[in-house]
Amino acid sequence: MNLYPLMFDPILKERLWGGTKLKEVLGKEIVADNTGESWELSGVAGDVSVVANGTLKGTSLQELMEKYPNEVLGESVVKQFGYDFPILIKFIDAKQDLSIQLHPNDELAKERHNSFGKTEMWYVMDADKDAELIIGFNKNVTKEEYSKSLEENSLLDLLNYEKVKTGDTFFINTGKIHAIGAGVLLAEIQQTSDVTYRVFDFNRKDKDGNYRELHTELALEAIDYEKKDDFKVSYEQGKDKVNSMVSCPYFSTNFLNLTQPKELDIADRKSFTIYLCVEGAVSISNDYGAVELQKGQTVLIPAASKTVQINTTKAKLLEVTI
């Protein structure tokens, strides 16, 4: 099978906190002014991505994995995850603060929801002046202190705030309390999981006048209450080379700051490769075809590919593998 670089139709999600930057900055064809997420590559049940280009246009990611598992996913990925696509790629636009939340680890998620946990990373693509993220606590807290802060509506006093700018990158372990702040547009790379424990939502109501569900009790045993400075990712941005950003059991991400064409040998990876264009534009080709990628677009390079050629004079890419 000639598995060329595969692009997918974005799955757009309206959110209480969403805005219009997905259109204004990334060129997405949103239809609502509260569009918060563009799911670029998803194997989540009910939201499975569909190929947007070439002879396989209209084919779902699930069909591809079932027909050509080793060729699309790679042998080691199939061995570890079967026919479940292990990564979910999103662009997120927060016009308002997102709810304060966390995600359980694999063991707890499996026990409670028959799901993977959710380890994730964020790459900031655009940020308003003084925009912030909430990541972790500003001191060590006990479960009792945390519970009391919820009762007294003072949780915000315990949280750590990080001002952000374009290019800032953060790694969010399971159990770490967090929220994307108003004015931040980012790329999110995560385990395939939609399990989220919402613990505080700024006392907001949805469009029907209802408070959104909180998961207070579920969160108590899932939270890491210790203050840790392990979330800000320091990475090199050397031009025209592969710069390592994040490496964990669930995905590895590299940063490419390109000013000229580059060819990469990926024959030994035994995994698919994903490219997110976060600045500029590129032409990306493998042994079987080529695609044009603009800022805010994503492509899947099947594992059967031996090389990738990236043609550009100026672009920044995130490269994701297992």
Written as one string, the DSSP assignment of 205-264 is B-TTS-BPP--HHHHHTT---S-----BPP----BTSEEEEEE-SS-EEEEEEESS-EEE
Domain assignment of residue 194, yes or no: yes
Co-location of 166 and 265 in the same domain: no
pTM of the complete model:
0.96
| CATH number for the domain that contains residue 264 | 2.60.120.10
Co-location of 268 and 125 in the same domain: no
Q: What residues make up the domain containing 281? A: 242-321
Task: Determine the Cα–Cα distance for residues 297 and 192; give it in Å rounded to an integer.
Answer: 19
pLDDT at 74: 96
Kindly give, in sequence order, each residue whose CB lies less than 8 Å from that of residue 94, ignoring residues fewer than 6 positions away.
17, 18, 19, 36, 180, 181, 182, 183, 184, 185
The answer to whether residues 189 and 89 touch, using CB atoms and an 8 Å cutoff, is yes
Catalytic residue among 198, 204, 212, 269: 198
Q: Is 112 tagged catalytic?
A: no
pLDDT at 207: 81
Q: Report the range of poorest mean pLDDT among 30-44, 128-142, 182-196, 197-211.
A: 197-211
Amino acid letter, 59: T
Co-location of 215 and 250 in the same domain: no
- The 10s digit of each residue's pLDDT in 83-114 is 999 999 999 999 999 999 999 999 999 999 98
pLDDT at 320 > cutoff 80 = yes
Co-location of 202 and 308 in the same domain: no
Domain assignment of residue 124, yes or no: yes
Residues 250-277, mean pLDDT to the nearest whole number: 97
Co-location of 161 and 27 in the same domain: yes
Number of structural domains in the chain: 2
pLDDT at 115: 87
Co-location of 110 and 247 in the same domain: no
**Which residue, 188, 246, 255, is CA-closest to 40?**
188
pLDDT at 116: 87
Confidence of residue 208 (pLDDT cuts 50, 70, 90): confident
Residues 66-80, mean pLDDT to the nearest whole number: 95
Co-location of 69 and 193 in the same domain: yes
pLDDT at 33 > cutoff 80 = yes
The answer to whether residues 128 and 183 touch, using CB atoms and an 8 Å cutoff, is yes
pLDDT at 206 > cutoff 90 = no
Domain assignment of residue 230, yes or no: no
Co-location of 167 and 264 in the same domain: no
pLDDT at 281: 98
pLDDT at 67 > cutoff 90 = yes
Confidence of residue 17 (pLDDT cuts 50, 70, 90): very high
Residues 115-143, mean pLDDT to the nearest whole number: 97
Domain assignment of residue 247, yes or no: yes
Domain assignment of residue 231, yes or no: no
pLDDT at 14 > cutoff 80 = yes
Q: What is the mean pLDDT of the chain?
A: 96
